[in-house]
Structure 1
């Protein structure tokens, strides 16, 4: 039988953080009354990430490590989201910037009929802890660009804590154009705006999406490079917009139309 929840954790050179965060995830999941699976997807790490992840998962038959070639976070998350078999599929950053204890807030929306629920660091009830001012400013400028370009009206597209129904997860991530099997290996960590394309595709498909304010903590060991990743994220958003106006998403039709065809 399919587990109730699959948790996907992308990891690139996370040997310092995984020994602290993975046990917390496993402890949380093992305390739940429902079934689960954990997929740690390695992005071609060059440190001891794989060995440490396998050691942490060894005690649990529901937990496993998937080894990917190095292609960046978008491709890594895509791998886990399309291979997960849970009724619901959640991806979470390896640093647990949003703790697993925030899961019930997202689950409540799923039970109301939403097929995708995304955590948000904005809005009433959201909390940002220890975030530098410049990082926050960059995020708000980026979100304004996303809105101006017409890619949804979300307050926060980039928070690394999102849950999808299994159908939506396999469907939307399987349609990604920016980070698919043709993606070339980046240099170093590649924090990208794959979330923007995922949400754009989900809107085109007609999935019901809810945004939920959460508590988020800034990590001192963040892999976000203010200059490099700001440019990379802007480039991704522009690519999504170009793909949209040039007809490259023409085949992505609403589910209800597809089902009647």
Structure 2
């Protein structure tokens, strides 16, 4: 069992992904622990999957195009590492920031999320209107579904594998029956994930990180703002309808004994 699984959802990322994977592999080669890199191809129409598969040490999951939330879920459920790190294909948060999240995990937090807000966080190259959009959306999230988290949408998140498997088996919006989509689809799957984490009683920590705005972003301000708002409202409605009951989830034998069988780092 590797110490760390890095899960990277990707949709038409042939231009950026090879560089991202090279940077990640160089970083992992300097670390004293075992790891795996999972690229989850979200039904790309370009060479994303083939380019990723050609990279040494990279495993590729090929899916229908059902959106980032569905892709992240598939990757998290396939991860074998003691810890699971979610990262965007543009590596907007440098992979080196992992050590800050890992420290919080080892301090006992069970869901640790990178944050572009707070003391120590930096936002490089972000247009002012995108920052305003993010703050307005986060305010709506707090009003409708999830208070007390400054930045739900940063793609850099980590958790122990048993927590990742538990939460992603519970999600409803982008679960097994998620529809096939057309075009890029930025979603608010993060809100449902964090809502469930809080409901299940997991300890959540925000860690300020360095973040760089990608000029090749796939965000459509009008279309994706509406889709994200719809997702947030759906989370609240699902909870009111009792769809997020805290019923036990069956774990496999390796997940059940995770606290007693922490794999040693390979020094």
TM bucket (normalised to shorter chain) is over 0.9
| Cα distance in 1, alignment partners of residues 139 and 147 from structure 2 | 11
Cα distance in 1 for partners of 2:167, 2:147 equals 15
Of 203, 207, 230, 1:212 maps to: 207
Are 2:28 and 1:29 aligned? Answer: yes
1:117 partner SS:
strand
Checking the alignment, whether the CA contact within 8 Å between 1:204 and 1:254 is kept in structure 2 is no
| Runs of 5+ unmatched residues, structure 1 | none
Residues 206 and 254, structure 1, Cα contact 8 Å, conserved in 2: no
Residue equivalent to 2:69? 74
Matched with 2:38 is: 39
SS in 2 for 1:123: coil
**Counterparts of 2:41 and 2:8, CA distance in 1:** 8
CA distance in 2, matches of 1:231, 1:149: 14
Report what 1:197 is aligned to.
192
Report what 1:231 is aligned to: 226
1:179 equivalent in alignment to 2:174: yes
Distance in 2 (alpha carbons) for counterparts of 1:20 and 1:86: 23
Cα distance in 2 between the residues matched to 1:150 and 1:232: 15
Query: For residues 238 and 163 of structure 1, what CA distance do their matches in structure 2 show?
Result: 25
Q: Report the CA distance between 1:224 and its aligned residue.
A: 0.8
Q: Aligned-pair distance for 1:253? A: 4.9
- Equivalences for 1:77-226 in 2 at 5 Å? 77-226=72-221
The CA deviation at 1:252 is 2.2
Return the alpha-carbon distance in structure 2 between the equivalents of residues 33 and 232 of structure 1: 41
TM-score normalized with structure 1 length: 0.93
User: Which residue does the alignment assign to 1:252?
Assistant: 246
Give the Å deviation of 1:246: 2.0
CA distance in 2, matches of 1:150, 1:194: 13
The offset of 1:181, in angstroms, is 1.3
Distance 1:4 1:233, change over 3 A: same
CA distance in 2, matches of 1:205, 1:15: 37
Does the CA-based 8 Å contact 1:88-1:164 persist in structure 2? yes
Q: For residue 222 of structure 2, give the secondary structure of its aligned residue in structure 1.
A: helix
Render the CA deviation track for 1:84-117: whole Å, top value 9, x for unaligned: 0111000100000001011111111011111110
| Aligned residues: CA RMSD | 1.4
Separation of aligned partners in 2, 1:23 and 1:53: 10
Distance of 1:19 and 1:149 partners within structure 2: 39
Report the Cα distance in structure 2 between the residues aligned to 1:134 and 1:253, rounded to whole angstroms. 42
Conservation of the 8 A alpha-carbon contact between 2:145 and 2:232: no
When the two structures are superposed, what TM-score results if normalisation uses the length of structure 2?
A: 0.91
Unmatched 5+ stretches in structure 2: 250-255, 257-267
Indicate the SS of the match to 1:174: helix
- Write the deviation string for residues 154-183 of structure 1: whole angstroms up to 9, x where unpaired: 000000000011111000011110001111
